[in-house]
């Protein structure tokens, strides 16, 4: 197996640290020490901490959506069941050993200025998730896929926050119960 490039290694180390401890609470020195690199090497690859954060968020977006899609397809074998399986995928994530909430919710909280590139990339991730759920709704034959995606995404986001902030690991299961009402209505 090939070793990741130095740049990729830095991003992977930073992703773990930022996810667990937060963006502002994780200093460059901690990242440098964990990645076992010099300050010069770090700054040869990233002009600033914000540039590193953006690289981390790009990687997390790709990884998260790939893993989430796989989980949804594993749990839901038909288009309609995939809409429900969104919540099974969330439950699996919430009960994983390294659940620290949504990195994009956390990032947008720490970088709340809507003009911030970090906030923007977080919003883009949420748009991609919305589009994914809308695609599932279309495939399932929803009367109004946009509305159903809005409803399910609201339940998803609420479940993520509940699971993270209050440790309520059944949040996805409860959200799924509510989602079934919206799904049944949308599918007629």
Model confidence, pTM: 0.93
Q: Which of 59, 60, 61, 83 is nearest to 72 (CA)?
A: 83
Which residue is associated with the tokens 């540039």?
51
Q: What confidence tier does 1 reach under pLDDT thresholds 50, 70, 90? A: low
Percent of residues in the chain assigned helix, strand, coil, to nearest 5 = 75, 0, 25
Condensed to tens digits (0 to 9), the pLDDT of residues 113-169 reads 999 999 999 999 999 999 999 999 999 999 999 999 999 999 999 999 999 999 888
Q: Please tell us whether the domain made up of 6-187 is placed in CATH 1.10.1060.10.
A: no
Domain limits, the chain: 6-187
């Amino acid at each position: 197996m090939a070793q990741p490039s130095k740049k990729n290694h830095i991003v992977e180390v930073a992703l773990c640290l930022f996810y667990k401890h937060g963006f502002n609470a994780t200093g460059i020195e901690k990242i440098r020490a964990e990645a076992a690199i010099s300050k010069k090497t770090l700054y040869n690859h990233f002009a600033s901490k914000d540039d590193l954060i953006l690289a981390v968020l790009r990687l997390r977006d790709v990884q998260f959506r790939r893993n989430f899609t796989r989980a949804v397809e594993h749990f839901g074998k038909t288009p309609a069941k995939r809409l429900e399986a969104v919540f099974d995928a969330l439950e699996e994530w919430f009960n994983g050993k390294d659940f620290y909430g949504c990195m994009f919710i956390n990032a947008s909280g720490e970088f709340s200025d809507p003009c911030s590139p970090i906030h923007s990339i977080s919003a883009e991730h949420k748009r991609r998730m919305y589009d994914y759920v809308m695609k599932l709704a279309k495939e399932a034959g929803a009367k109004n896929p946009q509305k159903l995606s809005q409803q399910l995404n609201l339940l998803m986001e609420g479940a993520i926050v509940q699971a993270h902030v209050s440790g309520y690991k059944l949040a996805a299961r409860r959200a799924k119960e509510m989602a079934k009402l919206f799904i049944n209505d949308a599918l007629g």
